[in-house]
Every structure is written in C-alpha cells, then in structure tokens.
Structure 1
Amino acid sequence: MNLPTNYWHKLTFTILLLVGAFAGKSQEINISEIVRQADEKFRGTSSIGELTMIIERPSWSRTVSMKNWTLGNDYSLIYITAPAKEKGQVFLKRDKEMWNWVPNIERMIKIPPSMMMQSWMGSDFTNDDLVRESSMADDYDQKLLGEEELESYTCYKIELIPHDDAAVVWGKVIMWISKKELHWLKAEFYDEDGYLVNTEILSDIKQMDDRVMPTRLEMIPADEEGNKTIMIFNKIDFNVDIKESFFSQQNMKRIR
C-alpha cells in the first residue's frame, strides 16, 4: 500500500514529538534532590526525639530507650534512658568525631573512624547508622535504576556509589523511595566487594510534628538468620531552637 508522502512526514513528526516529550520528562527527574528530600525527612535543621530500639535474636530480645538531639548533619547527641544497666550512657557526634561517655566508670571514650562500622550497643545498627555520619545526597553519586512496586507504593529504585573522597563505610547502597510521597521505604547496604551486608525496611508511616514519615526502621543482617534490630520513633520535634554549644563533652556528663 502506497501512502502519501505527507503522511510519512506527519508520522515522523509525531514520533519525534513523543520522543522529545519522554526525554524532557526524564530530564525533569532530579535523582539527587529526591534522595535529599527522603533523607531530610529524618533530619530537619534540628530535632529532639524519643526512640525505642529492640534488638531481636533467635533466643532473646533486648529493649533500649533513648533521647536524641540533632543539629544539621554535623551534630548529634544520644542519651540512653533504659535499661538501668546502660542508663546514662551518652554518644556525641561533632562533625567527623564521635565520643561515648560511660558514667559507671566515669570514662570518656573517643570512637575512631575505623570503628564506624562496628555494632552500636550490640545491635544491627552501626555507629555510622545512629549518628548519620554520611549524607546520602552529598556523599554519593546517584543513579536511577528504574521503578518497582513496594508495599503498594510505586518507588524509584536508586543506586548510590560513594565519592572517592567520601568518608563513608558502604561500597554501594540501593534505595527505594516512593515517587509521590518521597518516603524512604527500603535500603540495601553493600560492602566494598559488592556483598550485601544489611537490608533496612522502613514502615509505619505517621505524622511526626510537621511531616509525614516512616517511624519504624528494621535493620536485618544478610548473613545472620533470625537477627534484626527495630528502631521506633515514639516522638520527634523538628526545627527546634538548639545551639551548637549543646553538643559538647561537658554537656554529655550533665544531660538527663
């Protein structure tokens, strides 16, 4: 069947318009900004919160309660309120440095960068996880891998590779962020050799102060069946009036 030349011209023009529209839509997706917004839901400019951590093992479980203060990405202070054995322990992060105050022995311990991958209080969270030493938006290059359905949410699946000079503990992170709400719903953490170390599942989405966010985090190690640690945000206030001077070694000994 021979079609007129102008038909083919119109068809070609239509195809070019569709390709151009698709390309334009793709360019509108700012992956770095998506990661930043999902990450910032847990940060704010500052915050004061109350959290519960449940460490689950095949034959036992343990619950730790704490208060947490943050200022930006560089300052964090965690005060343990229960159980009695650990009550009064304080963890402080200032910029790239981290300390632990242990009142029972009245000792201030500096935690070196080499220990950021170590377990925090016997849990499946690392020291890095708890003080959020790294920023997913600033310390990693982001790449969109595609889209996947996760717990009734359509999510961006994003690969994060650390910058060469970034002081981070992971060789690669895969994140799932809901397209509409920008909730961080899942993350897989890989070591430098590409082996899966931990999977983090985020759920129980609620209103917390001025935002809607996941309030339950489960960290599940890849090679320890039956082990996981649950972190629950019981209460959190964002963008509170808190000074840099609050985050000091002197205040670690006074805080209650």
Structure 2
Amino acid sequence: MLCTLALLASPTLCLAAPDHEQLGRWIHDAENVLRGKTSAAVVSMKIKKASYERDYELMVYTDDRASSSKVLMRMLGPALWRGNATLKVAERISFFDPRTSRITVMGSTMLGENWMGSHFTNDDLMRETDLARHYQYRLLNTSSSKDESGDPVTQQLIELTPLPQAPVAWAKVLYRLNIGADQRALPLSVEYFRRQDDAKPARTLEYAGLKLIEQRKLPTRLTMSPSDAPGEFTRIEYRKLKFDVSFAADDFSERAFR
C-alpha cells in the first residue's frame, strides 16, 4: 500500500522492500555521507552546557580509501586551543597538545569519553564503531515524506541491535534516514539507547541544513543532544567541504601534528 501511494506521488520513490544487505548499505552510506573516499572540511563546533558555552573551529581530513580509515582533526581556534589535534590511523588514535609537544595514544577505554568537553565522544568523531558492521538491522517503518528542501523522499526507520561480541557502547540504535529520487540515503536522526528495553534514548543526533555541495545534496548541521540535560547540545556546522582530496603520505602521520 505504501509503495502504491508513493508511486502515485512520485514514481521514482517506489522502492522494493529492502533486504538486510540493502539496509546495511543505506546505513553505511548515511554514516559516511560527509566523508566520501577522501575529504577536507572546515567546521565550527558549539558546545552549550548548563555551566558554560564554548565555540571551536576545526579542520577535518578523512581518508577512507583503504580498509584502515584515517581521520585527522586539528583545532584552528580559539587561540588557546589552536594546534591541538586528534589522529586516527586504523585502530590507533593519538592526541597532540602543542603546549607540551606531548603525544598521547588513546586506550580503548577512552573511546566513550567526550571529545573536548562536547556531547560527541571520541568514538563518534573517530568512527571506531561501525554501525553497518557491528550491528544487525530491522526495518520498523517506511513512509512517504518530504525532506527539508521540500523534495519527496521515502523515510526509513531502522532498528539496530549489536551483533554478539561486538565492541559497542549502545544496546539499541534507532536510525531514521531519507531515500531520495536518486536512491541515495541521507541521515535524518539517530537515537542511542543504553539498554534495549529503554523507552527513552540517552541521546539523539539530528541532521539538518541541507545544501548542494559538489552537486550533492548534503546535511551540513549535526546536533547531538543528551536526554538527561534539556537545553544542552553540541552542534557541528560544515563551513567548507571538499571531496576527492589528494593527500600526501605525511598528512595522516604524527609528523603532521607539528
């Protein structure tokens, strides 16, 4: 019935019932929509907590051409934090403090810690957890809708539960994404639950700010909000974003810290 209604509204949005493999591809594509094979971005981060507010500007490089992904995040401002950097190469994650010239290698116990006092964890930003690989999926609902720019989409609500022995922090994830006329998956929201039977998520990540970047419609604003602290949030906004960037060998080494 849903497919019939979608066909009447927009023939391009009539999707066959997705199998498990298709759900995994959608989640993988949605998770990496702002990365591509390689990318370079300048982003702002605003942290709002009950006790303080902070604003940062960051440079972010990503390289996912090999199975061992690489991420470099360098602080551009404010001046107090300029030069602080976080580097991920395969499973190794290291931090650099320019004031002491000290490099610290992160242990697995630090993955769940908040990055620079934000509501995003080290795991969120470094993508050590792979939702498409570490979880199994179940389609809960499909509906016809419109995206932020008014274009028709098919909205999918997918429940993710961890695979046995998966090294993950969340017992359940509800992933809402939009499938457009071009069949590309764009993330809309992600709810993270500490226990599978929890009625309320511990936190929610929302995507918005659709813009056309290099001929791709992409969300440019990500907001993470904790459920136990109403009014608090961390918001990341993409100011500049370029895909298919050529990187030198040293761009993802600890030599790039200095």
Shift of 1:101: 0.3
Which digits, 9 at most, give the CA deviation of each residue in 1:135-193, with x for residues without a partner?
22222212111135586654100011222243333222111001325210100012256
| Runs of 4 or more consecutive aligned structure 1 residues displaced over 6 Å after TM superposition | none
How far apart are the structure 1 equivalents of 2:132 and 2:216? Answer: 19
How far apart are the structure 1 equivalents of 2:214 and 2:165? Answer: 35
SS at match of 1:85: helix
How far apart are the structure 2 equivalents of 1:123 and 1:40? Answer: 21
Residue 234 of structure 2 corresponds to 229
Residue 12 of structure 2 corresponds to none
Residue 164 of structure 1 corresponds to 164
Tell me how large the CA RMSD over aligned residues is.
Answer: 2.2
Structure 2, unaligned runs of 5 or more: 1-14
Contact (CA 8 Å) 1:208, 1:235: kept in 2 or not? no
Aligned counterpart for 2:63 among listed residues 47, 53, 71: 71
- State the TM-score, normalized to the length of structure 1: 0.82
Contact (CA 8 Å) 2:172, 2:196: kept in 1 or not? no
Identity of aligned residues (%): 28
One-letter code aligned to 2:242 = D
Contact (CA 8 Å) 1:75, 1:244: kept in 2 or not? no
Aligned counterpart for 1:188 among listed residues 191, 194, 197: 191
SS at match of 2:131: coil
Contact (CA 8 Å) 1:116, 1:169: kept in 2 or not? no
Aligned ranges for residues 45-60 of structure 1 at < 5 Å? 45-58=37-50, 60=52
| Aligned CA distance change for structure 1 residues 245 and 160 (closer, same or farther; 3 Å) | farther
One-letter code aligned to 1:67 = M
- State the TM-score, normalized to the length of structure 2: 0.81
Number of aligned residue pairs: 230
Residue 133 of structure 1 corresponds to 128
Structure 1, unaligned runs of 5 or more: 1-23
Q: Does 1:112 align with 2:107?
A: yes
Residue 61 of structure 1 corresponds to 53
Q: Does 1:146 align with 2:141?
A: yes
Residue 206 of structure 2 corresponds to 201
One-letter code aligned to 1:228 = F
Shift of 1:96: 1.3
Residue 20 of structure 1 corresponds to none
How far apart are the structure 2 equivalents of 1:150 and 1:134? Answer: 30
Q: Which has the larger radius of gyration?
A: 1
How far apart are the structure 2 equivalents of 1:27 and 1:100? Answer: 41
Q: Does 1:250 align with 2:242?
A: no
How far apart are the structure 2 equivalents of 1:68 and 1:108? Answer: 18
Contact (CA 8 Å) 2:73, 2:87: kept in 1 or not? yes
| Aligned CA distance change for structure 1 residues 158 and 102 (closer, same or farther; 3 Å) | same
